[in-house]
Amino acid sequence: MSLILSPVVNAEAATLGGHFSGHRLDLAGLGDFASPVMGFDQYRMSGPTFAPHPHAGFSAVSYVFEDSPGGLRNRDSLQHDLVIEPGAMVWTQAGSGVVHDEFPARTGEEVHGVQIFINLPRRKKDLPPRMLAIAPADVPEVVDAAGNRTRVLTGRFTDAASPVEPAEPFDLFDVTARGAWRFRVPARRNVLVYVLSGAVEVGAGDQVRQVEAFQAVAGQADEEDDLHVKAREPAQFLLLSGTDPREPVAVYGPFIMNDQAQLTAAFERYRRGEMGRLSPIT
């Protein structure tokens, strides 16, 4: 059997201040099966929560769900300043380092979204920072005979390919499921299914996992294989699939590197202002 499934894990509820609540996925419970995903928060935010902050060594992905009442303003030290509208995504490929800031476009108007941290391999951690964005109307959609709707934010599903091309191949889909749905997991890839609402059955070979809202399961494929997802009731889930760099990981705050020397170098770049600067919104 090529595709091996993990146990089901939960996303634990958390709050931060008076404007932010969410669910943080227990990636440690998925072990190596979660890599290259290094962080996953589904959240609701109604006011400024975080000050401008740096990132380096990975990509920070912000996706605002279609049901979000409001948009998310995204600024960075590359001089981008835009609103991520419901249904849109911004992929901040931090690389060697960037400073960014995110908060509701209109204070008091809730944003429902997800932020995902995706590791970069050692050979790409020093890439120049880059911001990739896709508007709601530009996200390819696939509706199949069972009535499942798949939004292809990055990567490819059947004949639909996203125009967003990260440094490393990565599939990110938002699926509204009504029946049976299938994804062909590429060889040497990991895959993660996170359920936003409803309940699904995730299967590979003779393995079956029952997954409900605020839960996830992951899989690891040595060879190309099928992942089957069947809606037990109308459901929405995210599918993420990327390649595990299989390298040492060193994390310090907003930096994800391979060793202490890289972390120190990233901090010094930030301290010297080489990642750029952002002034707080007043």
pLDDT digits (tens, 9 = 90+) for 77-88: 999 999 999 999
State the chain's mean pLDDT as an integer.
96
Residue 84 CA to residue 105 CA, distance in Å, equals 9
- In the chain, what are the domains? 3-271 (2.60.120.10)
The pLDDT value given to residue 51: 86
Q: Is 55 annotated as a binding residue?
A: yes
Residues in the chain: 282
The values of phi and psi at residue 65, to 5°, are -65, 155
pLDDT in tens, 100-152: 999 999 989 999 999 999 999 999 999 999 999 999 999 999 999 999 999 99
The pTM score is 0.96
Count CB neighbours of 71 within 10 A. Answer: 20
Residue pointed to by tokens 């996706």:
63
Does the annotation list 102 as a binding residue? Answer: yes
Highest mean pLDDT (candidates 11-25, 45-59, 70-84): 70-84
Amino acid at 4: I
Q: Which tens digit of pLDDT belongs to each residue from 188-233?
A: 999 999 999 999 999 999 999 999 999 999 999 999 999 999 999 9
What average pLDDT does the segment 59-86 reach?
97
Phi, psi of 88 (to 5 degrees): -105, 165
How far, in Å, CA of 152 to CA of 144, rounded? Answer: 14
What is the distance between the alpha carbons of residues 96 and 257, in angstroms, rounded to a whole number? 10
Separation of CA 92 from chain center? 11
Rounded mean pLDDT of 233-243?
A: 98
Name the residue with tokens 């994390």.
251
